[in-house]
Every structure is written in C-alpha cells, then in structure tokens.
Amino acid sequence: MAQRKRLAKIDSPTARATLEPRKTPYWRPLSLGRAIGYAKGKRGGSWVAMAHIKQAKPARRQMVLGVADDQLPADGLQVLSYDQAFKKALTWFEDELRRAKGLDVPTGPFTIADACKDYLADFELRSKKSLQSTRATIQAHILPRLGKIEVNDLSSTRIEKWLAELVSLPPRVRTRKGAPQQYKEPRNDEESRRRRMCTCNRVYTILKAILNRAYQRGHASSDRAWKAVKAFRKVESARINHLEPVDQIRLVNACPPGLKELVQAALLTGARYGELARFQVRDFSRSSQSLFVEYAKSMKPRHIPLTEEGMAFFEALTAGRKGNEPLLVKANGEPWGKNHHVRVLEEVFEQAKIRPVLTFHELRHTYAVTLLRAGVDLPAVAKLLGHADTRMVEKHYGHFTPDWAASVLRDKVKRLGIAGGEKLASLKIQGA
C-alpha cells in the first residue's frame, strides 16, 4: 500500500526552523482548492495563499500574505504568525471569490460602517429572520457614534463610553422620516434604567457579532478591545408584566373601534402584533377551530387553536367578508402597520387608569399567564406561543406554574399553632 506523504509542519517558528530553503512553498491544504503555504528562503520565510476558483481567469490565484514571524515578533500587519496568516488567507479567499463574481471588495481603511455593511450582506444571505430590526438597530445606535472609526482603532475605552451614552439616552419614539429623532420624557427610576441597560446589552451583542466577523475576515488585528468590555449584569428581569382578568375587561371596554378588536384578538390568541396585522380572513378556519400563522418569527408556520370564546369572536369578525381581506383593520378600514398601535394604546391605558402601562407585546405575556393559571402545562403553552421547546416559557413564566413543592407542603403539614390564636398550656421547667 502506498504511504501518504507527510505534510511539513509550518504552524510554529520552531517547526519551520527545521525546514530546508526551497523555491516552492511548503503547502498545507485548507479546503478543496484552497491552501496556505510557507515559502522559505535563505534569509527567512513568508506566507503565501493559493486558491483555485472556477469562475476566475486564470483559475489558479496566488497571493503573498506577509512575512513569517521567524525572526521578528508578529504585529498582525507586516509580520504574521501562522494564525494571523490563516485568517488573512480566509479573507483573501472570500475577496477573490467576490471579484470573480463581479461583486465589490472593500479597499482602504476598514471602518465600523464597512464592517456593518459586510455583516448585513452576510446576514441577508444566511437568514432574513430579524434582518429589518437588526438593520434598524445598527442605523440608530451603532453607525451615528461609531461608524467612522476604523476597526483597528476601536478601543475598550471607546466602547465603554458608547455604552454609557446609550444608557443615558431616553427611549426613542416613532419620528417622521427626515425629521430629527424624537424621544420620550426621560425617567430616572430604577426600572427605567434597568430597561435601558437591557436594551444596551442587545445592541452590544449585535456590535460584537459585527466586530467578530471583521476580525475573522482579517480586517482587525486583534479582538481584545471588545472582549475586555462586559455587558451589564443582572438586568434581565424575571418580572413579567401582565393584566389580571378584571383589567383585561377594563382595557377592552376602554379601546376605540379597530384597536378593540386588535386587543381582543391578542388576548384570545397570544399572537404577536406583526402576526395579527398580517392575518387575512381566510386564515380563520371554522372546521379546525384555529387561526393559521403563515409567517411567524421562527420562520415556521403554525396553527393557533381557539377556545369557544375565541371561535365566537372570530366567527363574528369574519362573517360575510372575503378571504383575502385583512382580518383586523383600523376604524377607517385601513390595515394595521408598524407601530400604528403604540400611541393610541398608551392613551387607552392612561384613560382607563390601568397600571402599569403595558406594551402590546405584554398582551402576549398576559395570554401565557392566563393559560398557566388555568392549569395548561408548559409544553402546551410553548406550542401555542410558537416556541420550539419549553426553555423560553420556563425562563419567563415558570413562576406562574403550579408549585409542586408548595402544594405538598400545604397538603402534608397542617397548622402548627405558632402564629397565634391557640390556647397553650404553660410549660413548667424543673429547677426554675
């Protein structure tokens, strides 16, 4: 049997020191048609990348990446370690493939704005889930303050300053396109600050994903700057705001036409606002007694079973209407759009004097809490909400489930008489 030729070790200066100088590089294959090589001369070595790209002419491409760290310490720019050369080779492979396909390749200083553009392009190719909200977050919170900074110039101090600025900003409100951004009246209570810090953590997660991709593609010499900055701790609240049954009725009665039906549908189905706004009349099925969610957050369609009350509500709502009509509309007959409900719902809470003022999404929380208090088990609640498993339900609503330990305690341990009300005989102590 023929023996496979052993590849020369090139991933450490010590291993490379034992290699003989030669004209052709010592190659190490990385994947099909891609390899990184170490070209050793009499005065040291250098790193080379090679790719075979079918779309390119000529198909075989080769690139000198930089000097190997045989005699000088690696600086990530001119002198490269094996790991740095490996990352730079991966970036070059992608760039060459983009050139072969006629796509743009970033050149010159690589800013955070460039990194955001690259990240969003990759994000759109891989998954369109939450693409719109991710793009909006980047445009609102990352680009205005960090966009012009080069990735290699970003420091831990600058990231911490950016986070502090985000925390200090009051909540944004919907603003007409082209007009200066409007904000809510700032609140300095503990809960408002916790919410702002929680929001900052979500924005920071997106920024780190952007910077990690830039680092992996060789646009940053180090990832120490953002690894050194930690997210805010203990700001994920376990408290779930929801409406008690009496407040649910008060809210429905206080809503104007259009919003009233939207709120009723949310409380009866637990559907998200976007799902409710997309429902058509044909999505309600009398035969299966359910609503069909075609475009869900999880990208998987689902059916929401309805109670008797839910069936009666949707039968009345769909009577005599065409299947392609929007199921839920505003009082003027127009469909609900993004954030159309926000201000009017806040006004209803204020007028009805219901505290705290909840967001529309917390009507979904109310639906989940109602189910759990009625004795519906966690797997069923998770399925009704459209979750893949029970983890999210346990995290947010676990404390609303019947407590097995508490029920055993109350069943087995009867009144002890230590809280008062019982007549006890005096205790005589000998020798007293």
Which helix (H) or strand (E) segment is 240 a member of?
none
Q: How far is it, in rounded angstroms, from Cα 263 to Cα 240?
A: 18
Interior angle at CA 137, CA 135 and CA 138, nearest 5: 65
- Whether the model pTM is above 0.85: no
Per-residue 3-state assignment (H helix, E strand, C coil) for 372-417 = HHCCCCHHHHHHHHCCCCCHHHHHHHHHHCCCHHHHHHHHHCCCCC
DSSP state of 329: B
Helix (H, G, I), strand (E, B) or coil at 266: helix
Encode pLDDT of 332-358 as tens digits: 999 998 888 888 999 999 998 998 888
- CA-atom Rg of the chain in angstroms: 31
Nearest-angstrom CA–CA distance, 171 and 164: 14
Burial class of residue 30 (count of CB atoms within 10 Å of its CB; 0-12, 13-18, 19+): middle
| Pairwise CA distance, residues 204 & 141, whole Å | 10
Q: Are 189 and 177 in contact (CB under 8 A)?
A: no
pLDDT per position in the chain (432 positions), as tens?
A: 455 567 889 999 999 999 999 989 999 998 888 999 999 988 889 999 999 888 778 888 899 999 999 988 888 888 999 999 998 898 888 888 877 877 666 667 889 999 999 899 888 777 666 788 899 899 989 999 999 999 989 999 999 999 999 988 877 776 777 777 777 776 677 777 888 888 899 999 999 999 999 888 778 878 999 999 999 888 776 567 889 999 999 999 999 999 999 999 999 999 999 999 999 999 999 999 999 988 776 667 889 999 999 999 999 999 999 989 999 999 999 999 888 888 899 999 999 899 888 889 899 989 988 888 888 888 888 888 887 777 777 666 665 665 555 666 567 766 666 665 555 555 555 555
